[in-house]
Structure 1
Amino acid sequence: GATFAIMTSLFQTLTQTYGLSSHVAWRAAFAIVPAPILIFVAVLTFIYGQDHPAGKWSERHTLPAAALAIKQGHQIPFDHAEKSDSSSKSTKDEKDPEANAEVSVRPVVAEEDLELVKSTVDVAINEPLTLKTTVKILTNPLTWLPALAYLTTFGVELAIDSKFADVLFVLFSKKRPGFNQTTAGYYTSILGLLNLVTRPAGGYIGDVIYRHYGTKGKKAWTLICGLIMGAALLGGGFYLQNTRTSGDHNLALLMGVFSVAAIFSEFGNGANFALVPHCNAYNNGVMSGLVGSFGNLGGIIFALVFRFQTQVGRAFWIMGVIS
């Protein structure tokens, strides 16, 4: 959301004050704002980030969830480094058994701790990715529910973020004095800034629903978000199409309708990733990457809708139908 406000202002400064061409100014704006932020966040993650949410990766087998997984008959996979350490240690023990006579005892996991672990998500430990598991993931219908849903929710968000400023500029730059590209960017940034609340709220609501209705509740919440988002896009698209000839566009109405579409697309993003851990739980990393990539694919598909459908109202309601 802040990107639209900052980068459009920076773009105008670079072109008007420093005389850069539009092409060079956009390239410079990306190097000045997003690139340093991405590098800074990456460094912070590298220094302060944990191996994974439960702590150290090397200790993942000692968690109550791992104990319950073994109790239920699941095999806990080891990575190549751990297998190498284990084999070298066993070889050393065979050569000098008395030197390693010390006995280490792992604390027994209390039964009450195991009772806290209820679902597959709690006991799932990522399996190595093989051709067999890849085929299993791709042929599982559960793979495609969040993937296709995220294609629409995140795809719509990317499309609105990239096109809505242009739409506002074309509609109101001649009707409202001082309504320039930066102003249109400020209005559009509101829709992106909603992510501070709406995306995490979508996931949180999904988790609350899960406590009462299980995974079916999360699925229903994801579908509700998609339906409301699609309905808002249909309404906004038909409004733009019907007022195309008269030019009687209402800025407040447009912002209201597309805010609803943006809010529920962002709710849907959070709802989708609340559902992802339940789908192919033993290959959650692959699942997360697949779903995320479909979101970017959705952005490309909806950008192509605008590319081949020059009437923006029709493009928006086509997006609504797809969603």
Structure 2
Amino acid sequence: TSLYQSLRARGLSNHVAWRVSFAIVPAPVLIFVAVLTLIYGTDHPAGKWSERHSVPATEIEIEQGHDGHDDRDEKLDEKGVGDTSVTVHPVQKIAAIDVAVNERLTIKAAFKILASPVTWLPALAYLTTFGVELAIDSQMSNVLFALYSKKIHGFNQTTAGYYTSIFGFLNLVTRPLGGYVGDLLYRSFGTRGKKVWTLLCGLIMGAALIGGGFYIEDHRTPTKSPSLATIMGVFSLAAIFSEF
């Protein structure tokens, strides 16, 4: 935001200033991370990504340290007239390993995947959480500026951007904390516990967003504005459970 305001002060239009800001800061960072991933990242757990369809599951198992041998004891009972003796012979038996090969994606298989509820459920969950976060990050500064630029002295676009940046910085805490809570729930309640937690987070996020919207609508008048602290608190709550 500060860079954007600086470019605007130098005479650039709104249309150009934000594009130049993106080219100066986010774009180089993204390119740098992409180069690091290209250099140091693992192409594919089973080898080259281009050869993923030609690697049998047997080779993957061997590469991961599974030799496919099963040690068992063969016991033979030899019963006599007055006594019983047991002879134990160790046997090395090679267990059968699945040798299926990954299938290439076809149009028919793609449509089947897209039509499956198992595909849409996590996709919609991601859309309504990360999508909400992106919407807040991109538009909240405009909302705050419209509400308080004429009501609070010195409240400009930069100030609104600083307040909005809080939602982004919450990721430093909410992302690892959400993963930790999810792991704890999985240990105690399994997959069902994580499902319930996901639904609960979504409900709290949705309730906070709806409540915040009604609060702004009910308290916005020509002579009065809604409380800035209340708005930040309500939407921060929504952001926290969105990022969990």
Q: TM-score, normalization: structure 2?
A: 0.76
Paired residue for 2:237?
260
Paired residue for 2:101?
77
Unaligned runs of 5+ in 1: 1-7, 79-126, 268-323
CA distance in 2, matches of 1:186, 1:60: 50
Contact 1:60/1:66, CA 8 A, preserved across alignment: no
Whichever residue aligns with residue 262 of structure 1, its letter is A
- 1:113-152 matches, within 5 Å, as 127-152=103-128
**Secondary structure, aligned partner of 2:159:** helix
1:207–1:56 distance in 2 versus 1, CA, 3 Å? farther
Contact 2:205/2:238, CA 8 A, preserved across alignment: yes
1:15–1:160 distance in 2 versus 1, CA, 3 Å? same
CA distance in 1, matches of 2:19, 2:67: 48
What RMSD over aligned residues (CA atoms) do the two structures have, in Å?
A: 2.6
**Secondary structure, aligned partner of 2:163:** helix
Q: CA deviation at 1:185?
A: 0.3
Q: CA deviation at 1:60?
A: 4.1
- 1:121-270 matches, within 5 Å, as 127-245=103-221, 247-267=224-244
CA distance in 1, matches of 2:25, 2:239: 24
Paired residue for 2:83?
none
CA distance in 2, matches of 1:165, 1:129: 43
Paired residue for 1:20?
12
Q: CA deviation at 1:75?
A: 4.2
Whichever residue aligns with residue 10 of structure 1, its letter is L
CA distance in 2, matches of 1:128, 1:64: 26
Look at both structures and tell me which one has the larger radius of gyration over its CA atoms. Answer: 2
Contact 1:228/1:261, CA 8 A, preserved across alignment: yes
- 1:55-134 matches, within 5 Å, as 60-61=60-61, 62-63=63-64, 74-77=98-101, 127-134=103-110
CA distance in 2, matches of 1:183, 1:199: 26
Whichever residue aligns with residue 50 of structure 1, its letter is T
1:129–1:197 distance in 2 versus 1, CA, 3 Å? farther
Contact 1:229/1:260, CA 8 A, preserved across alignment: yes
More strand by share: 2
1:56–1:250 distance in 2 versus 1, CA, 3 Å? same
**Secondary structure, aligned partner of 1:223:** helix
Unaligned runs of 5+ in 2: 49-54, 70-94
Query: What percentage of aligned pairs have identical amino acids?
Result: 65
Whichever residue aligns with residue 63 of structure 1, its letter is Q
Residue 30 (str. 1) matches residue 7 (str. 2) = no
**Secondary structure, aligned partner of 1:176:** coil
CA distance in 2, matches of 1:215, 1:140: 19
Contact 1:66/1:76, CA 8 A, preserved across alignment: no
- 1:41-60 matches, within 5 Å, as 41-52=33-44, 60=60
Q: Which runs of 4+ in 1 moved over 6 A?
A: 65-68
More helix by share: 1
Aligned residues: 208
Whichever residue aligns with residue 210 of structure 2, its letter is L
Larger relative contact order (C-alpha < 8 A, sep ≥ 6)?
1
Contact 1:15/1:21, CA 8 A, preserved across alignment: yes
